[in-house]
Amino acid sequence: MKHYKRKVLFLMSIIVIVILAIYFSENNLKISYKYFNPFIENEQVSVEKQYVIPGGQTIGVELKTKGILVVGLADVVNDNKITTSPAKEAGMHIGDKIMSVDNKPFSTTQDFVSYINKEGIREYNIEVERNGNRIQLLITPIKRYSTNDIIFGFWARDNIAGIGTITYIDPETYEFSAVAHGITDSDTGELIDIDSGSISKANITNIKSGKKGEPGEIIGFILKDNNKLGSVRQNTPFGITGVINEKSLSYFSNNLVEIGRRDTIQVGPAKILSCLDDEIKEYNIEIVKTYYQSRPTDKSFVIKIVDEELLSLTNGIIQGMSGCPIIQNDKLVGAVTHVFMNDPTKGYGIYIEWLLDESHQKKSNL
């Protein structure tokens, strides 16, 4: 009898264990399924609507580099008719930023040249910044054989200027985003680390149409005096950001446009805002392809210019149109970034979310 009871208790224990195992495995399966299923039904996420002032204005951009940017190294014939390069031999690299000479800070090439001409031929302690590190270089310049000038053997610049387009302005903070891609040095190809900058009104004098293998451009000049619109704070991989001067706000529209998140953009008709003469106009485009992206990149979707008026003016996307706002279903969904070299009627756009995220991130890091 005792043996029989033991068997019954043993079997009951086994049954309880099996039931518990099934129960917990089913619940774990349900939890796992809910966690990984990307198509959860009847679950709505509330996202607060956001509005900005759309851009489209063609602007002049002037940036002051951080330090003096080395953009090239050169060989020089000295007064003994020997070819040499003091800068190269001392270890200077293209892309170095000259921060000081003999522990004296320098920010312009003019000040640098004036100091060297005053001091003459001797050894100089030049501090450069390279990949975030400070490096000391000891360089003794030479006299050029042909001109008797004091030469180090490097090319440098301290500023850059060009034409671009404003994408949007925050109506509360007056912060703006423009150009929609990083501004790089034409010689080094690197993103320019800036000390300061400004945007101003620009006068367009000509339009050079684009063609296969040869991008067109907006030709013009930056207006000076009282035509400054704002200051530039950051040059990011996704364009420049800064703040509009309060007195310049009247130059921009008071109209607001809703931000369209990247999950709302669709293949189909859209418009870009651009100013190629004296006023901002809407031009018809097609969004022909979109890319799923979980992290920022300046090539989020492909666009094609289909507007006959714009095609007659530019033959597609040209330099200076980077930053043009892209509107779809009355929402700002992105901005123009690049043109296809083999087809100027096509180019890339960037999701507006990436520009907003970059602006907010840079602001929080200030």
Q: Is the pLDDT of residue 358 over 80?
A: no
What confidence score (pLDDT) does residue 76 get? 87
What confidence score (pLDDT) does residue 188 get? 83
Question: Which pLDDT tens digit goes with each residue over 226-274?
Answer: 899 999 999 999 999 999 999 999 999 889 999 999 999 999 999 999 9
Q: Which of 330, 276, 265 is nearest to 302 (CA)?
A: 265
Q: Tell me the average pLDDT across 331-347.
A: 97
Question: Which letter does DSSP use for residue 247 in this model?
Answer: G
Q: Is the pLDDT of residue 278 over 60?
A: yes
What confidence score (pLDDT) does residue 41 get? 36
Q: Is the pLDDT of residue 45 over 90?
A: no
Q: Is the pLDDT of residue 95 over 60?
A: yes
48 or 341, greater pLDDT: 341
pLDDT band at 33 (very low <50, low <70, confident <90, very high): very low
Find tokens 């123009």 and name the residue: 336
Question: Which pLDDT tens digit goes with each residue over 303-325?
Answer: 999 999 999 999 999 999 999 99
What confidence score (pLDDT) does residue 17 get? 54
Q: Which of 164, 161, 189 is nearest to 177 (CA)?
A: 164
Decide the pairing of beta strands 194-208 and 154-169: unpaired
C-alpha 59, offset from chain centre: 16
69 or 277, greater pLDDT: 69
pLDDT band at 18 (very low <50, low <70, confident <90, very high): very low
The CATH architecture one would assign to domain 51-62+159-365 is Beta Barrel (2.40)
For the chain, the domains span 51-62+159-365, 75-152
Which member of 100, 107, 177, 181 is catalytic?
Answer: 181
Q: Which of 4-18, 32-46, 232-246 has the lowest mean pLDDT?
A: 32-46
**CA 221 – CA 213 distance, rounded (Å):** 25
Find tokens 């912060």 and name the residue: 175
Question: Which pLDDT tens digit goes with each residue over 129-182?
Answer: 999 899 999 999 998 877 778 999 999 999 999 999 999 999 999 999 999 999
Amino acid at 78: N
CB atoms within 10 A of CB 298: 20
267 or 225, greater pLDDT: 267
Q: Decide if 75 is catalytic.
A: no
Q: Is the pLDDT of residue 196 over 80?
A: yes
Chain mean pLDDT for the chain: 87
Strand partners for 334: 326, 351
Q: Tell me the average pLDDT across 196-200.
A: 97
The CATH classification number of 75-152 equals 2.30.42.10
What confidence score (pLDDT) does residue 148 get? 78
16 or 122, greater pLDDT: 122
Q: Is the pLDDT of residue 22 over 80?
A: no
Q: Is the pLDDT of residue 332 over 90?
A: yes
The SS3 call for residue 334 is: strand
Token duo for residue 121: 């031929």
Q: Decide if 359 is catalytic.
A: no
Residue 230, CA atoms < 13 Å, CB-side half-sphere: 24
Length of the chain: 366
Which member of 200, 274, 300, 322 is catalytic?
Answer: 322
Question: Which pLDDT tens digit goes with each residue over 68-85?
Answer: 999 999 998 887 788 889
Amino acid at 16: V
364 or 125, greater pLDDT: 125
Q: Is the pLDDT of residue 183 over 80?
A: yes
Find tokens 């907006």 and name the residue: 218
303 or 15, greater pLDDT: 303
Which member of 100, 170, 307, 359 is catalytic?
Answer: 307
Decide the pairing of beta strands 97-101 and 124-130: antiparallel
Q: Is the pLDDT of residue 214 over 60?
A: yes
Residue 150 in contact with residue 120, Cβ under 8 Å?
yes
Token duo for residue 103: 């522990």
pLDDT band at 34 (very low <50, low <70, confident <90, very high): very low
Q: Decide if 322 is catalytic.
A: yes
The SS3 call for residue 152 is: coil
